[in-house]
Structure 1
Amino acid sequence: MTKGEETRQFIIEKAAPIFNTKGIAATAMSDIMEATKLSKGSMYVHFENKEVLACAAVDHNMKVLGDKLVSEISKSKTAKEELFTYIDFFSNAVNPPLTGGCPLLNFGTEADDTNPIVKEKINRGIQFNQQLLANSVNKGIANGEFKPDWNAEDFGTVVFAMMEGGHLMSRMSGSNDKMKVITKTLKKIIEENSL
């Protein structure tokens, strides 16, 4: 990495949790300057404007979250363990894996009507999660862990929607009570489809 690439990466790493916590609209370049201790001129050498930096921060947040998730899932020995690991990974919305909470929920809510570039990035992230879940179900069907008629794609959609909804409810209430109900329900569905 060149010195310029290192500085650019440093800015992204410092900016990512700020954008994820405050949102794109509410984050000012002065917030990033304060976190990085860099001047406005230095910031604009690496990013032509806040929107370009915000897009890089969205990518960074989603990559960090995805890498942590895949790392945890890769430790699983069975497809059923993979599904349980996915659910457990996201089960504590009050103390989430990333500072500020789930970037898919945070940026998706903000960008759905305002930022088509971020909206598309979040949509790809959602599809990635749904496919990851569906792949685990299909793997489990193939190796005889799950019932052969279990619809993997439908389950991926249900898990993602319930977990994100649970995150919203938990973050608003400051309690994981609703998330506990959701994780228990999802694990029950997995058990009901297990052989």
Structure 2
Amino acid sequence: MKKGERTRDHIIMKSAAIFNQRGYAGTSLNDIIADTGIKKGGIYRHFASKDEIALEAYNYAASLVSGKFSEAVDQEQSASGRLIAFFRVYEDVVHNPPFIGGCPMQNTAVESDDTHSELCDRARQGLHNFLDMMKSIIRDGIEAGEFKEDLDSDALATFAFSLLEGGILLSKLDGDNKHMLMNKTTFSSYLQQCCLKSS
């Protein structure tokens, strides 16, 4: 990797953490300069604007979290286990989130909803990617005979992801992982009672 590429990646990695913790509006170019140790001219050699940095930073943060989800899912054999694996990634969201500052999609979606259409679009795409991942797992479970044949994969994916994101929000706000752990337990019980095929 060339020096210029390393510098650009360094700016993205450092900026991703700042944006995810402070938000787009709460992050200034001076914050990025301070955290990267790169002067303003050096920043602008690689990026045309703060917007461009923010979009690249979001992509980086989201890809890291997506990778954590994929790793957790790949460790499970059953469809139900693979769905519950999403919750394990954020089990200790208060002290040890998969990316500093919490869920990049959630943070970006809340802040950019009415203020930054491009960032909002990225968060929306992230939502659809995660839902598609969950729906694919559910459909695999139906085909394998693990889940009931009439199970609505769209509805179950939305329910699962709502519990996941709600658990992240409440746990971070309250400073207590109990909300995420309760949601994980609730979802696991729901799968057992309502979704699994009777043996």
TM-score for the superposition, normalised by structure 1: 0.95
- Equivalent pairs, count: 195
In structure 2, the partner of 1:194 is 196
Counterparts of residues 42-81 of structure 1 (less than 5 Å): 42-81=42-81
User: SS at the partner of 2:24?
Assistant: coil
In structure 1, the partner of 2:170 is 169
Give 1:69 shift.
1.1
User: SS at the partner of 2:189?
Assistant: helix
2:122 is equivalent to residue 121 of structure 1:
yes
In structure 2, the partner of 1:140 is 141
Give 1:48 shift.
1.2
* Alignment-mate amino acid for residue 53 of structure 2: L
Alignment identity in percent?
A: 31
In structure 2, the partner of 1:105 is 106
Q: Distance in 2 between matches of 1:78 and 1:155?
A: 16
Give 1:87 shift.
2.0
In structure 2, the partner of 1:153 is 154
* Alignment-mate amino acid for residue 184 of structure 1: T
Give 1:7 shift.
1.1
Q: Distance in 2 between matches of 1:31 and 1:191?
A: 48
Unpaired stretches in structure 1, ≥5 consecutive residues: none
Q: How big is each residue's C-alpha offset from its partner over 1:36-81, in whole Å with a ceiling of 9 and x where there is no partner?
A: 1111110111111111101110111101111121122112222122
Q: Distance in 1 between matches of 2:45 and 2:154?
A: 44
Q: Distance in 2 between matches of 1:166 and 1:85?
A: 14
Q: Distance in 2 between matches of 1:108 and 1:12?
A: 19
Contact 2:68 2:89 in 1 (8 A): no
Contact 2:8 2:46 in 1 (8 A): yes
Unpaired stretches in structure 2, ≥5 consecutive residues: none
Q: Which moved more, 1:6-15 or 1:173-182?
A: 173-182
In structure 2, the partner of 1:30 is 30
Q: Distance in 2 between matches of 1:194 and 1:166?
A: 23
Q: Distance in 1 between matches of 2:81 and 2:119?
A: 32
Q: Distance in 1 between matches of 2:129 and 2:45?
A: 33
Structure 1 vs Structure 2 CA RMSD = 1.2
Give 1:177 shift.
1.9
Q: Distance in 2 between matches of 1:154 and 1:103?
A: 23
Q: Which moved more, 1:140-149 or 1:176-185?
A: 176-185
Contact 2:12 2:53 in 1 (8 A): yes
Give 1:174 shift.
0.5
Give 1:180 shift.
2.0
Q: Distance in 1 between matches of 2:38 and 2:156?
A: 46
Q: Distance in 2 between matches of 1:172 and 1:73?
A: 27
